[in-house]
Structure 1
Amino acid sequence: MRRKPKTSAYQEQVEALNGILGEMCDLAGVAMDLATQALLHANLPVAEQVITDHDRMLEMSAKAEKQAFALLSQQAPKPADLRATVTGFQIVADVDRMGALALHVAKTARRRHPNKTLPEEVDGYFAEMGRLAVKLAHAAREVLESQDPQDALQLEEDDDAMDDLHRHLFSVLMDREWKHGVESAVDVTLLGRYYERFADHAVLIGRRVVFQTTGMTPQQLIETT
């Protein structure tokens, strides 16, 4: 029976870093789920919870950066190990931004309380965008754990669905029948952008995992399979 290759101490530390990053993805997903609830239902306590819980994300980010710097300081890492470490720094920034975008949604809901932020005709768009955002965050965590480049590529599909919703949302805003004023239109525009960018960062994590594990861009990987 063939023995599994022995995992080096460096690889174990890379896995530990990816574990922290995966936990951060889950935290970002939970934050966006709660922020969406606060947005749709003008729920101030839930919005406040997202804002308070963001401190946990900041703590995890600092922990991930410390782990990445520890890896970077080691002598003569292999090229693949160095690639994993540098990519780890980039993923920290991506997940940080996901958490910040969820925070923006919660703060918008808090700012408009006790009024509801969204007109009723766009509630369905944001409910679905919230669902996709949470799905992408959890998928990013799974990809970080599995390090499967093919699974990482699948993140693009859910991002396409998010982009479609975002485009349709603009068609509602541009309709002559829009009767909710400029302030509401600005809120909807910014909020739509927050969800779109959240999804984009999840996709970037997938792309970085592809590079981390194969040394190729997603396009190069597709062309070789």
Structure 2
Amino acid sequence: MREVFQQELQEVQERLVEIATLVEISIENATRAFNESNVSLAEAVIADDDKIDGAAVALDELAINILARQQPVARDLRIVVSALRISASLERMGDMAEHIAQLARYRFPDKVVPRSLRSTFADLGKYDVQIAKKLTELLRTEDMRLAEEIRNDDDQIDALHLSVFDKVLGETWKGAAVDTVDATLASRYHERFADHAVSIAKKVQYLATGDWVSAGL
């Protein structure tokens, strides 16, 4: 029974990595669609979000089943409960990628943001993709250096997010109302994507150390 239980815990980890990989692909395609005004890529991201949702639901069902049958304790319990919370955050990251793709589809054939903000959003997308790749590897390896790198990348995204608000609220902003709304929403989606990744990184850090304080939880 113990061997079966350990196999189930391993499956939980593997499924988290699989979902994170789907999210990684989704944000990479979403930011490309956004920056390049690629409607076919945007529609692919939107359609594929169901895969992320379905994988998250299946993982939740597995975790709940383990809790009911095995009644784990100590670290094993932390693994299963954390998996449920990580799954929810990954699903929300997929939603953020979908929202970015939706903006690209709505504004096609135009680009979503004015020229003056395009380099900022290219950087936001670059950091989000970077974070997604590191998160997948963190879930695979529990390398705590990656958790710190994700937090540092998030700081960069926060600074870019604030710069978008400074731009659209500044006296020199010439964008129309729709440009203001689109830029604000898009920046928020990028920022929230990274926030969820940081939340997952903290949970992985907690799993590795068993310390709520050092993980920032």
The equivalent of 1:98 in structure 2 is 93
SS at match of 2:171: coil
The equivalences for 1:16-55 within 5 A come to 16-55=11-50
Aligned counterpart in structure 2 of residue 169 of structure 1, from 152, 161, 164 = 164
Q: Which moved more, 1:38-47 or 1:68-77?
A: 68-77
Label 1:165 to 1:51 Cα distance change in 2 as closer, same or farther (>3 A): same
In structure 1, what is the Cα distance between the partners aligned to 2:71 and 2:115?
58
Letter of the structure 2 residue corresponding to residue 10 of structure 1: F
In structure 2, what is the Cα distance between the partners aligned to 1:70 and 1:113?
44
The equivalent of 1:220 in structure 2 is 214
In structure 1, what is the Cα distance between the partners aligned to 2:64 and 2:201?
22
SS at match of 1:73: helix
In structure 1, what is the Cα distance between the partners aligned to 2:172 and 2:215?
46
Aligned counterpart in structure 1 of residue 79 of structure 2, from 66, 84, 90 = 84
The percentage of aligned residue pairs carrying the same residue is 33
Label 1:74 to 1:153 Cα distance change in 2 as closer, same or farther (>3 A): farther
The equivalent of 2:67 in structure 1 is 72
Q: CA deviation at 1:86?
A: 0.6
SS at match of 1:74: helix
Give TM-score scaled by structure 2 length: 0.92
Label 1:12 to 1:150 Cα distance change in 2 as closer, same or farther (>3 A): farther
The equivalent of 1:4 in structure 2 is none
Matched, 1:190 2:185: yes
Q: CA deviation at 1:150?
A: 4.3
Query: What is the alpha-carbon root mean square deviation over aligned residues?
Result: 1.7
In structure 2, what is the Cα distance between the partners aligned to 1:98 and 1:41?
21
Give TM-score scaled by structure 1 length: 0.89
Q: Which moved more, 1:187-196 or 1:26-35?
A: 26-35
Letter of the structure 1 residue corresponding to residue 142 of structure 2: Q
Q: Are the aligned partners of 2:131 and 2:194 in contact in 1 as well (CA < 8 Å)?
A: yes
In structure 2, what is the Cα distance between the partners aligned to 1:84 and 1:22?
14
Q: Are the aligned partners of 1:153 and 1:207 in contact in 2 as well (CA < 8 Å)?
A: no
**Cα deviation per residue 1:2-42 (whole Å; 9 max; x = unaligned)?**
xxxxx944333222212211121121121111111211222
Structure 1 unaligned residues grouped into runs of 5+: 1-6
Structure 2 unaligned residues grouped into runs of 5+: none
Label 1:203 to 1:50 Cα distance change in 2 as closer, same or farther (>3 A): same
What count of residue pairs does the alignment treat as equivalent?
A: 215
The equivalent of 1:61 in structure 2 is 56
SS at match of 1:220: coil
